[in-house]
Amino acid sequence: MKALRRLCLLMLFLLGGFFIPGMSGDPPSDPPPPPGGHGEGTNQPPAGAPIEGGWGILIVLGSVFAGVRYYRTRAEH
């Protein structure tokens, strides 16, 4: 009987959001205005984070990892 009660409560909570309109989210609002520099004759690209530093770090770490694996493989034989 306890399992049936738990199942009924679980179904009530899971399906309750579909039947109670107050539980639904708000409709989407208007989008924010475009950033500065937009509309100066042509569209300006967004200012993003530079990825050069990340690529360099990734290549160095990958090279070190490959070197360590190669060294360990050669040391075992």
Per-residue pLDDT tens over the stretch 20-73 = 665 556 677 787 776 665 555 666 666 666 666 677 888 889 999 999 999 999
Q: Are 70 and 59 in contact (CB under 8 A)?
A: no
Q: Does residue 66 sit within a domain?
A: yes
Closest CA to 46 of 55, 58, 56, 34: 34
Per the structure, the count of domains in the chain is 1
Q: Which domain holds residue 60?
A: 53-77
Q: Is the pLDDT of residue 16 over 90?
A: no
Q: Does residue 63 sit within a domain?
A: yes
**pLDDT at residue number 23:** 55
**pLDDT at residue number 63:** 94
Length of the chain: 77
